[in-house]
Amino acid sequence: MEDEVIEISDSEREETSSNSEMDVEITTEQPAIDVKAEQIVPKDAATIAEEKKKLGNDQYKAQNYQNALKLYTDAISLCPDSAAYYGNRAACYMMLLNYNSALTDARHAIRIDPGFEKAYVRVAKCCLALGDIIGTEQAVKMVNELNSLSTAVAAEQTAAQKLRQLEATIQANYDSKSYRNVVFYLDSALKLAPACLKYRLLKAECLAFLGRCDEALDIAVGVMKLDTTSADAIYVRGLCLYYTDNLDKGIIHFERALTLDPDHYKSKQMRSKCKQLKEMKENGNMLFKSGRYREAHVIYTDALKIDEHNKDINSKLLYNRALVNTRIGNLREAVADCNRVLELNSQYLKALLLRARCYNDLEKFEESVGGL
């Protein structure tokens, strides 16, 4: 069906024209709108940054530190020359236990405003947490110079002095190989400097020496999550592998640590020790299998002198030497070796059975049965 065309008469056109003119007149008389100046004039960056900072402060007080961190970062991007904004973000990082980032921000705040006392206070706190005694002492000195009446860093000053004393005690015990004492004093040091990776890794190293390799490995892995290029952490992982008789992987880790730090003395020592033990074990086993028992006995004896702390490897070397002693008729020496094996590892079943057999051959029947 075709669309119907509606014609407009001349009188209707005149009426429509009259109404249009009337509409135009009406629309020109608009009511006044109350528009504030700030809605017309855009805010400058400094004003917006200050608002972000205030919102950040609100989030900080509410302990919503991640939200506060974002707002402080927004404020810094808008106004990067404000020491206060960097100081606030440093405080936020500290609450998130990110002391390295907090220290970076606090030091940046000081570069902008060398008289910013709170920034020095935060530097002191961060340096202490990270175990940087010299950095702590320098920051404390600056706070005291800026404000001789300030007590804001009194606790940090005392803690830094305690850390110095602890470090001296730790080093003395480490040098004397009193590793249990080292762990004890390191725990005290870590209460004062909980983010100190050096203390954590030294503790892990001593735990490995004490045969507590699982604990040592946990610490090393935790540090590597924070710093994948830590030669000390990789060295500790290698140490754990070495003390669990995984010599090949231990060597790989020591070599990787040396790739990252060619002067890493401990890795050089342990790589050499690892290779030496591996070679001697293999030579001793080869001599034993070929029936050259006395030569094998010499090799196993020399291998036992390499590292008295490696209980896992030494227990196997002692057992192998005990077997050699049975082949050359030294049954009493074989029993003595088995006893030493069981002192290192009371669950070493092969050593228990070999000792019983030796007692039986020595006609010490009570000992043969009683030891099982």
CATH number at residue 329: 1.25.40.10
* Domain-embedded: residue 289: yes
Judgement on whether residues 250 and 288 belong to the same structural domain of the protein: no
CA distance 332 to 323: 12
* Domain-embedded: residue 58: no
CA distance 233 to 236: 5
Give the tokens for residue 200.
């954590």
Judgement on whether residues 258 and 292 belong to the same structural domain of the protein: no
Identity of residue 340: R
CA distance 53 to 32: 36
Judgement on whether residues 260 and 304 belong to the same structural domain of the protein: no
Judgement on whether residues 325 and 260 belong to the same structural domain of the protein: no
Judgement on whether residues 362 and 281 belong to the same structural domain of the protein: yes
Judgement on whether residues 348 and 320 belong to the same structural domain of the protein: yes
* Domain-embedded: residue 60: no
pLDDT of residue 39: 53
Judgement on whether residues 283 and 366 belong to the same structural domain of the protein: yes
* Domain-embedded: residue 87: no
List, in sequence order, the alpha helices (H) in the chain.
10-27, 37-40, 45-61, 65-78, 83-95, 99-112, 117-129, 133-146, 154-175, 179-192, 197-209, 213-226, 231-242, 247-260, 265-289, 293-304, 311-327, 331-344, 349-361, 365-370
CA distances from 242 to 9, 259, 283 (A): 107, 19, 18
CB under 8 Å to 213, separation ≥6 — which residues?
Answer: 207, 240, 243, 244
Identity of residue 286: M
Domain boundary (276, 311, 341) is at: 276
Domain boundary (276, 292, 323) is at: 276
* Domain-embedded: residue 321: yes
* Domain-embedded: residue 185: no
Burial of residue 5, with CB atoms counted within 10 A of its CB: 0-12 exposed, 13-18 middle, 19 or more buried: exposed
Domain that holds residue 215: 196-276
Judgement on whether residues 328 and 252 belong to the same structural domain of the protein: no
Judgement on whether residues 263 and 290 belong to the same structural domain of the protein: no
DSSP state letter for 291: T
DSSP 137-201: HHHHHHHHHH-TT--TTHHHHHHHHHHHHHHHHHHHHHHTT-HHHHHHHHHHHHHH-TT-HHHHH
Find the distance separating the first CA and the last CA of the chain, reported in whole Å.
112
* Domain-embedded: residue 173: no
* Domain-embedded: residue 13: no
Judgement on whether residues 290 and 361 belong to the same structural domain of the protein: yes
Domain boundary (259, 276, 293) is at: 276
pLDDT of residue 43: 74
The number of distinct structural domains making up the chain is 2
Q: Report CA Rg, the chain.
A: 38
The residues of the chain scoring below 50 in pLDDT are 1-30, 33, 35, 37
Judgement on whether residues 363 and 333 belong to the same structural domain of the protein: yes
